Amino acid sequence: MFELTIPMVAERAERTAEVAASAGGPRPLSAGAWLALMLDEIDYGMVLLSPDGRVQHMNHAARAELEGSPLLQVQQATLQVRRPQDYEPLRSALHDAAVRRRRRLVTLEAAAQTLTIAVVPLGEMPQPATLLVLSKSRVCEELSLQGYASHYGLTLAEGQVLKALCAGQTPGNVAERHGVAISTIRTQIHAIRAKTGMQSISSLVQQIARLPPLMGALRCLTP
């Protein structure tokens, strides 16, 4: 067995925290703060609701998903639906989670946008909380896709074709959008499959969908 520890880094971090504390600097992060940072690295939007339905925490993916959403919004720490017809389905699912401890899926649709929400009761506590997990709007994160393409040595053009396929575009759509012959796109798809060892486009997209998320660091600069 090999322990995956980095003793020198851990020791250095501990000394840095001690020096900062003695100098009146910032205090070390709490476990809750580290947990919040962890949740921001997940590409599923996650919203934690208190027993009275107030929003206690949202990770970065949830904040990004709800910003400008035609389906849901958060105002004054309260989750609200934007359309009257969505009120009862979500209210019923939240009630079942809080009272019956039942897990539910709720799907909201507006125009071209669909949002599926997993409503999950958390634990058996005197004051049970409810977790909402929001469906993803894309197969995988941009950096994950770039890392995959780099690992298998895909060219820039092949990476762009792969990105388009993961977005649900057909080879014909990709060819039209890039202004090239469809035979060119098919040649690039053949090269992608050869390099990755995938037998079909569907199996390729499925593998991409299973990649762990690599969230962009620049999001930390946004409020």
pLDDT at site 152: 96
pLDDT at site 176: 94
Asked if 201 and 173 count as a contact pair (C-beta separation under 8 A), the reply is: no
Asked if 44 and 131 count as a contact pair (C-beta separation under 8 A), the reply is: no
Is residue 23 in a domain?
A: no
Interval 176-194: pLDDT, tens: 999 999 999 999 999 999 9
Residues 120 and 156 in one domain: no
Report the candidate in 84, 32, 75, 83 with the shortest Cα–Cα distance to residue 55. 75
Whether the per-residue pLDDT at 5 is higher than 50: the answer is no
Whether the per-residue pLDDT at 110 is higher than 80: the answer is yes
Residues 118 and 204 in one domain: no
Sign of CA dihedral 170, 176, 177, 180: positive
State which of 73, 102, 134 marks the end of a domain: 134
Interval 39-62: pLDDT, tens: 999 999 999 998 888 999 999 999
Q: What is the mean pLDDT of residues 130-142?
A: 91
Is residue 10 in a domain?
A: no
Interval 16-28: pLDDT, tens: 555 555 666 677 8
Q: How far apart are the first and last CA of the chain?
A: 42
Interval 145-170: pLDDT, tens: 999 999 999 999 999 999 999 999 99
State which of 134, 164, 184 marks the end of a domain: 134
Tally of domains within the chain: 2
pLDDT at site 133: 97
Whether the per-residue pLDDT at 8 is higher than 50: the answer is no
Domain that holds residue 36: 32-134
Q: What is the mean pLDDT of residues 115-134?
A: 88
Residue 77, domain CATH: 3.30.450.20
State which of 134, 168, 196 marks the end of a domain: 134
Is residue 193 in a domain?
A: yes
Residues 205 and 186 in one domain: yes
Is residue 13 in a domain?
A: no
Is residue 109 in a domain?
A: yes
10 pLDDT band, cuts 50/70/90, is very low
Residues 159 and 101 in one domain: no
